[in-house]
């Protein structure tokens, strides 16, 4: 009886991890699409990924308050890609885009002019 329960639980964990692997890659792809869309809209490539840098800093602060096992387990069970991977991906993509130096969308320019 215990063997069947352990086997069933193991099967569910394997299914969950397989799903998470696909889910994480889907999120990484969504990040890439979001990056390209933001840059095409005129946002500075180096600033598009700053959200993930802030998220990473928050995660590190949270992990310092936990024991290492709990932090590792929480990361393993997360359906989101690790923030450090997301930060790395954003920096790699930003390095491939020629920098314009500032946000240059029409709306941003209009608002900036109104504030002057």
pTM of the model as a whole: 0.58
Given a cut of 60, is residue 30 above it in pLDDT? yes
Cβ atoms of 32 and 84 closer than 8 Å: no
Cβ atoms of 103 and 44 closer than 8 Å: yes
Secondary structure (DSSP) of 18-80: HHHHHHHHHHHHHHHHHHHHHHHTT--HHHHTHHHHHHHHHHHHHHHTS-HHHHHHHHHH-SS
Cβ atoms of 47 and 113 closer than 8 Å: no
Given a cut of 60, is residue 79 above it in pLDDT? yes
Can you tell me the distance from the alpha carbon of 49 to that of 110, in angstroms, rounded to the nearest whole number?
24
Cβ neighbours of residue 75 closer than 8 Å, sequence gap 6 or more: 82
Tokens of residue 25, six digits = 């890659």
Given a cut of 70, is residue 25 above it in pLDDT? yes
Q: Most confidently modeled of 49-53, 58-62, 71-75?
A: 49-53
Q: What does the pLDDT read at residue 11?
A: 56
């Amino acid at each position: 009886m215990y063997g069947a329960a352990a086997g069933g639980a193991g099967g569910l964990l394997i299914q969950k991890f397989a799903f998470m692997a696909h889910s994480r890659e889907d999120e990484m792809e969504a990040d890439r699409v979001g990056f390209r869309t933001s840059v095409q809209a005129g946002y500075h490539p180096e600033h598009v990924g700053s959200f993930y840098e802030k998220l990473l800093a928050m995660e590190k602060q949270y992990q310092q308050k936990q024991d290492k096992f709990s932090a590792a387990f929480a990361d393993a069970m997360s359906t989101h890609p690790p923030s450090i991977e997301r930060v790395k991906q954003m920096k790699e993509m930003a390095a491939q885009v020629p920098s314009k130096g500032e946000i240059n969308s029409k709306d941003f320019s209009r608002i900036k002019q109104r504030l002057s």
